[in-house]
A and B are shown apart, each in its own frame.
Chain A
Amino acid sequence: MSEERGDGSVLENPTESGFRSELRRAARVMVVARWPVFAVFFLTLAAIAATLGSWLAPFDPNRQNLVLRLADPMTAGPDGGVFLLGSDALGRDVFSRLLYGARVSLTVGFAAITVGGTIGIVAGLLSGYFGGWLDDLIMRLGDIQLAFPFILLAIMFLVVLGSGVWNLILVLGVGQWVTYARIVRADTLSLREKEFVEAARAMGDSTFSIIFRTILPNILAPLTVIASFNVASVILSEAALSFLGLGVPPDVPTWGSMLAESRDTLVANKWWLAVFPGVAIMLTVLSFNILGDWLRDFLDPRLRERT
C-alpha cells in the first residue's frame, strides 16, 4: 500500500514509523539535490573544528611569535610546526585561530537563536492564543524593535553593556525574537479554532497544556526553516559586530575580529589574513542558507510563501 504525498513523492509504507520514514525521504531528496550534501559536509567540518579544535590546532591560537609575524602561508613555525595559512600581526597561527574561531561563531550562533527562538516562540504563542491587549503589546514591542536598524541597536547595547560573549549572545538573541514571534502567532491563530484544540479544551486541559502540548508541536516545522536562516544571519551579524570591535575580547579569536585585525595590513599585501576568515564565514553562512532552503522545500512547498 502506498500513499502519494503533496510534493509528488510516494510513501512506500505508510504504516512505518513516521520519523524514520521522514529521515529516509530526507536523505533521498538531499542526495538528489546535491547542494545540501555539500552544506551538511561543510557544517560537519565546522562542527568538528568547533568541538575538537583544541586537539586539531597545531599551535596555541594566542601564542605570539613576534619574530615570525605576518608570515606567508606554509612558512615554518616554531617547534617544527608549519603555519599552514600564515601568521598574523602578532605571529599567531592563522589556521589555529580559524579553528578556534569556528567554536565561537557557531556557539554564539546557536546560543543566540536559542535565546531568540525561546523568547519568540513564547511571545508568539501567548500573543496568538490570548489575543487582546497582550497581543497588541507584544506586537507593538516587536514593531519598536524592528523600527531600529538592528546593527545600531546592537552597537548601542554593546557599547553600554560592554562587549563579551554573553552580552553578544544576549544582544543577538534579543534581536531575533520578532521573526519567530510573528510566524508562531499566525500559526497559533489559525490553529486556535481547529477541532483538536477544541477537543482538548472540552476535555478540560489547562491552558498551559493546550498551548504547549497541543499547539506548539504542530507549529514547529516552519520554525526549523527559520532557525536555519537565522543562524546564518546571526553569524553574519556577529562577524560584523566583532569587526566593529564590539564582539568578544581580543584574546578570543573569532572570524569577524580576525577580519578586523586584517584591515591594517591589507595594503601591505598580507592577503591571507583577510581571505581565509572571510571564506570561512561565507561557507558557513552559505551552508546554513542551503540547509534552510532545502528544509523548506522538503517539509512543505507551501511554506515557501510564509518564510
Chain B
Amino acid sequence: MKRHTAPIRALATCVLGMSLLTGCAEQSDDTIVVGLSADITTFEPGMISSRDNANIARHIFGALFTLGPDGEHIPELAHTLEISDDGMAYVYTLNQGLTCHDGEALTAEDVAYTFNRIADPANRFTGNTPGFVFSSIGFESAEPLDDLRVQINIAQKNPIAFGLMTEVYVYCKDAYERMSLDEAASNPIGSGAYRLASWTRGSEVVLEKVREPGNFERIVWRIIPEASTRTAELIAGNVDIIANVVPEQVETINESGRASVQVVSGTRRMYVGYNLSAEHAAMPGGDAIQDPDVRRALQYAVDVPTICRQLLSVECERATGLVNPQNANPNLIPYSYDPELAGRLLDEAGWPRGDDGTRFFIRMQAGQGRYVNDVNVVLAIVQYLEDVGLDIELELMEWASVYTPLLRERSMGPLFFLGTGGGLWSPIYDMTDIARVSSGTNYTHWSDSRWFDRWPDMVNTEDLDEQRVIIDEMLEVFYDDGPWLHLYFQPDFYGVSDRITWTARRDEHVEIFEASLR
C-alpha cells in the first residue's frame, strides 16, 4: 500500500504548498535521487567510457562476476570461473534461469555474443570495454560451450584478466541483433536489476526496478554540473547522494543537519610525472629531471600533507608508489617535507641556485576540472617547487580536447600533473600502467631495466609469495628512482542525505543496490 499512497502524499504536500519551499521534489520513500556532475552520453555498452555513465549502466546490466568494495571477486550472473593451465581460456558457468529485461533467456550464447559484438571492428565501438579491457587482456574470441558455459579466449596469460572482465556488461543476442546502433544507444535492454524508464538528455535518467537486488523502486540520476548547486540541492533535500563534493563545501553540508559527507580514500593515484622521453630531455629542464637524484630531491620539496589538509580538507593517504596502500610495499615510507634537504640534494646533483635565485627553468602542464580541486592543488605544487628554486612555467589546459590528446601521444611535460585510476584487488593491476616501456599509459617513457626486465618474472611466477617478493623489489626501485613525484591517493567526497543509509566505495563505483531508507 505504501507504494501507492506515497506519490499521492507527495502530490498533496506539494499542493498544500509546504514543499514549495523545497522546490516540490519528487522525494518519496520508493525513490532515491543521485546528483551527477557530468552528462551521460550513451547506453550502448560498447561505447561507455565515463565513470558516471558506467555507474548508471551498472544498474541496468549485469556482469559475469563483479568486484566488491574491498576488491573481492564476487559471482553475479555466473557462479564459477575456471581458468585453463595456460591462462588463455576462461570458462564461466552461468546461473540457471537468467533472463534479460525483455524476457529473453540469458544463456552462454548471449554472453559470447556480448563479447564478440563489442569487439567487432565493424561496430567501431570506442568505449572502455573494447578500448581498455579487451586490449589489456588481449581478447580474441568468445564461444558458448553449452547452454550455461561460455569460454573467453585471450592472447596470453594475464594475472589480472579476471578483474578486468568484471567490467563487461552482459546483454541478450536477440534484442541487440534487432536494434540498430542508434537505437541501442538510447534503448538499453539489460540483464540487471533496473531498467531504463526515461532519459532526458542533459537533465536526468530514471531507472525502475525489475528484480533484486535493490531497496528502491526508482533511482533518479540528476545531472547538475555546478558544484555549489549540487550541494545546495543536497542540503535542500532534493537530492540524496552527490559525488564530487568540493572540499570547501564539506563543512557546510555537515553543519546543515540534513546531510553529511563521507570521505573515502580513493584508489586514484595522483602524481607529478617526469616525462623522460628523448624529446623532452632536450627541453629546458628536461635534462635535469633525467637524473634520478634530482627527481628524488624534488620528492622532499612538496608539502603533501598540507596540500591535503588545506585544499582537500582531509588527511589523505600518502603515496609511496603506484600501488594502493593495502597492496603496496609495506617497508616504504612516504617522503617527508624537507625543503632544505631538497635544496641540498639539488646542489649536490649539480643544480645550484643561479644569480637570480633559480636553479633551472622547466614547464609544467596540467588539465583542469578533472580531479578534486585540481587547479588549486597544481598551483600549490608549483609554489612549493618554486620555493626550492625551480622556475616553472605552468600551462593549465582544458581537459577533454587539449590535455587528453597530449596524454594519448604521451607528450605532455616535462612536468605534468595526472591522476590514474587504480584498484584494490591486485597490486599488479595498479602496476599495469607501466607494464611495458611502450605502454600507452607509460606517460613518462620510463625505461629503467630494473623494473621492466622483472615484469615477465613477476607475471609468470606461480608461487604467490615469490611473486610478492619480486613486486616489493620492483616497487622499491620505483620509489627510489621512479618517474613520479608521489603525492596522494585522491580522497573522494560523497554527500549523503540523512534520509538514507549508504556507504561509499573507494573505487569510484557508485552502486545504489545496498542503499536504503533510514
A and B touch in the complex (CB under 8 A): yes
B310 contact set on A, CB distance < 8 A: 66-67, 69
Instruction: Tell me the bound Cα distance from A90 to B382 in angstroms.
Output: 12
- Which among B227, B311, B394 is the interface contact of A263 at CB below 8 angstroms? B227
A269 contact set on B, CB distance < 8 A: 252
Task: Please tell me if A16 contacts chain B, counting CB pairs below 8 Å.
Answer: no
Task: Please tell me if B249 contacts chain A, counting CB pairs below 8 Å.
Answer: yes
| Contacts of B351-400 to chain A: CB distance below 8 A | 368-369, 373, 375-376, 379-380, 383, 394-396, 398
Which residue of chain B has its CB nearest to the CB of A263? B228
Instruction: Tell me the bound Cα distance from A159 to B397 in angstroms.
Output: 10
Task: Please tell me if A264 contacts chain B, counting CB pairs below 8 Å.
Answer: yes
Q: B227 near A89 (CB under 8 angstroms)?
A: no
**A142-178 interface code vs B (CB 8 A; 1 in, 0 out):** 0000000000000000010010000000000000000
A249 contact set on B, CB distance < 8 A: 394-396
Task: Please tell me if B248 contacts chain A, counting CB pairs below 8 Å.
Answer: yes
Instruction: Tell me the bound Cα distance from A259 to B96 in angstroms.
Output: 58
| Contacts of A29-69 to chain B: CB distance below 8 A | 64, 66-67, 69
- Count residues on chain A whose CB falls below 8 Å from chain B CBs: 21
Task: Please tell me if B47 contacts chain A, counting CB pairs below 8 Å.
Answer: no
B401 contact set on A, CB distance < 8 A: 159
Q: B248 near A159 (CB under 8 angstroms)?
A: no
Task: Please tell me if B177 contacts chain A, counting CB pairs below 8 Å.
Answer: no
Q: B379 near A90 (CB under 8 angstroms)?
A: yes
A162 contact set on B, CB distance < 8 A: 402
Q: A267 near B376 (CB under 8 angstroms)?
A: no
Task: Output the least CB separation between A40 and chain B (Å).
Answer: 37
Which residue of chain B has its CB nearest to the CB of A249? B396
Q: A159 near B228 (CB under 8 angstroms)?
A: no
Task: Please tell me if B314 contacts chain A, counting CB pairs below 8 Å.
Answer: no
Task: Output the least CB separation between A83 and chain B (Å).
Answer: 16
Task: Output the least CB separation between B46 and chain A (Å).
Answer: 28
Instruction: Tell me the bound Cα distance from A205 to B301 in angstroms.
Output: 71
Q: B383 near A267 (CB under 8 angstroms)?
A: no
B307 contact set on A, CB distance < 8 A: 66
Task: Please tell me if A268 contacts chain B, counting CB pairs below 8 Å.
Answer: yes
Q: B376 near A90 (CB under 8 angstroms)?
A: yes
Q: B380 near A64 (CB under 8 angstroms)?
A: yes
Task: Output the least CB separation between A244 and chain B (Å).
Answer: 10
Task: Please tell me if A265 contacts chain B, counting CB pairs below 8 Å.
Answer: yes
Task: Output the least CB separation between A92 and chain B (Å).
Answer: 9
A89 with B376: in contact, given A67-B310, A69-B310 (CB under 8 Å)?
Answer: yes
Task: Please tell me if A251 contacts chain B, counting CB pairs below 8 Å.
Answer: yes
Q: A268 near B368 (CB under 8 angstroms)?
A: no
Task: Output the least CB separation between A296 and chain B (Å).
Answer: 39
Task: Please tell me if A14 contacts chain B, counting CB pairs below 8 Å.
Answer: no
Q: B396 near A66 (CB under 8 angstroms)?
A: no
Task: Please tell me if A270 contacts chain B, counting CB pairs below 8 Å.
Answer: yes
Task: Please tell me if A275 contacts chain B, counting CB pairs below 8 Å.
Answer: no
| Contacts of B219-257 to chain A: CB distance below 8 A | 226-228, 231-232, 235, 246, 248-249, 251-252
Task: Please tell me if A70 contacts chain B, counting CB pairs below 8 Å.
Answer: yes
Instruction: Tell me the bound Cα distance from A263 to B375 in angstroms.
Output: 14
Task: Please tell me if A73 contacts chain B, counting CB pairs below 8 Å.
Answer: no
Q: B368 near A245 (CB under 8 angstroms)?
A: yes
Interface size bucket, B side? 20 to 34
Which residue of chain B has its CB nearest to the CB of A69? B310
- Which among A67, A69, A267, A270 is the interface contact of B232 at CB below 8 angstroms? A267
A250 contact set on B, CB distance < 8 A: 368, 375, 379, 394, 396
Q: A64 near B252 (CB under 8 angstroms)?
A: no
Task: Output the least CB separation between A75 and chain B (Å).
Answer: 15
Instruction: Tell me the bound Cα distance from A243 to B56 in angstroms.
Output: 31
Q: B394 near A251 (CB under 8 angstroms)?
A: yes
Task: Please tell me if B306 contacts chain A, counting CB pairs below 8 Å.
Answer: yes
| Contacts of B247-281 to chain A: CB distance below 8 A | 248-249, 251-252
| Contacts of A232-252 to chain B: CB distance below 8 A | 245, 249-251
Q: B248 near A264 (CB under 8 angstroms)?
A: yes
Task: Output the least CB separation between A154 and chain B (Å).
Answer: 15
A67 contact set on B, CB distance < 8 A: 306, 310
Q: A64 near B248 (CB under 8 angstroms)?
A: no
Q: A268 near B249 (CB under 8 angstroms)?
A: yes
| Contacts of A65-96 to chain B: CB distance below 8 A | 66-67, 69-70, 89-90
Task: Please tell me if A266 contacts chain B, counting CB pairs below 8 Å.
Answer: yes
Q: A267 near B252 (CB under 8 angstroms)?
A: yes
Which residue of chain A has its CB nearest to the CB of B251? A268
Q: A159 near B252 (CB under 8 angstroms)?
A: no
For A159, A251, A266, A269, which residue has the most chain B Cβ atoms within 10 angstroms? Answer: A266
Instruction: Tell me the bound Cα distance from A70 to B251 in angstroms.
Output: 13
For A64, A265, A267, which residue has the most chain B Cβ atoms within 10 angstroms? Answer: A267
Q: B396 near A268 (CB under 8 angstroms)?
A: no
A245 contact set on B, CB distance < 8 A: 368-369, 398
Task: Output the least CB separation between B209 and chain A (Å).
Answer: 32
Q: B228 near A267 (CB under 8 angstroms)?
A: yes
Task: Output the least CB separation between B289 and chain A (Å).
Answer: 22
For B368, B373, B379, which residue has the most chain A Cβ atoms within 10 angstroms? Answer: B379
Q: B379 near A265 (CB under 8 angstroms)?
A: no
Instruction: Tell me the bound Cα distance from A150 to B13 in angstroms.
Output: 44
Task: Output the least CB separation between A168 and chain B (Å).
Answer: 15
A264 contact set on B, CB distance < 8 A: 227-228, 246, 248-249
| Contacts of A203-252 to chain B: CB distance below 8 A | 245, 249-251
B311 contact set on A, CB distance < 8 A: 66, 69, 89
For A159, A249, A265, which residue has the most chain B Cβ atoms within 10 angstroms? Answer: A265
Task: Output the least CB separation between A248 and chain B (Å).
Answer: 11
Instruction: Tell me the bound Cα distance from A245 to B249 in angstroms.
Output: 21
Task: Output the least CB separation between B7 and chain A (Å).
Answer: 30
**B403-436 interface code vs A (CB 8 A; 1 in, 0 out):** 0000000000000000000000000000000000
- Which among B231, B248, B375, B380 is the interface contact of A66 at CB below 8 angstroms? B380
B402 contact set on A, CB distance < 8 A: 162
| Contacts of B20-58 to chain A: CB distance below 8 A | none
Q: B231 near A267 (CB under 8 angstroms)?
A: yes
Q: A90 near B249 (CB under 8 angstroms)?
A: no
A251 contact set on B, CB distance < 8 A: 379, 394
Instruction: Tell me the bound Cα distance from A187 to B496 in angstroms.
Output: 64
Which residue of chain A has its CB nearest to the CB of B231? A267
Which residue of chain B has its CB nearest to the CB of A92? B379
Instruction: Tell me the bound Cα distance from A265 to B231 in angstroms.
Output: 10
Q: Top 7 A-B pairs ranked by shortest CB distance?
A: A66-B310, A266-B228, A264-B246, A267-B228, A267-B231, A265-B248, A268-B252
Residues of B within 8 A of A (CB): 226-228, 231-232, 235, 246, 248-249, 251-252, 306-307, 310-311, 368-369, 373, 375-376, 379-380, 383, 394-396, 398, 401-402
A–B complex contacts, Cβ < 8 Å, 15 sampled: A66-B307, A66-B310, A89-B376, A250-B394, A251-B379, A263-B226, A263-B227, A264-B227, A264-B246, A264-B249, A265-B246, A265-B249, A267-B227, A267-B252, A268-B251
With contacts A64-B379, A249-B394, A268-B249 known, what are 20 further pairs, Cβ within 8 A?
A64-B380, A66-B307, A66-B311, A69-B310, A70-B248, A159-B398, A162-B402, A245-B368, A245-B369, A249-B396, A250-B368, A250-B379, A251-B394, A263-B227, A264-B227, A264-B249, A265-B228, A267-B228, A267-B252, A270-B248
Residues of A within 8 A of B (CB): 64, 66-67, 69-70, 89-90, 159, 162, 245, 249-251, 263-270
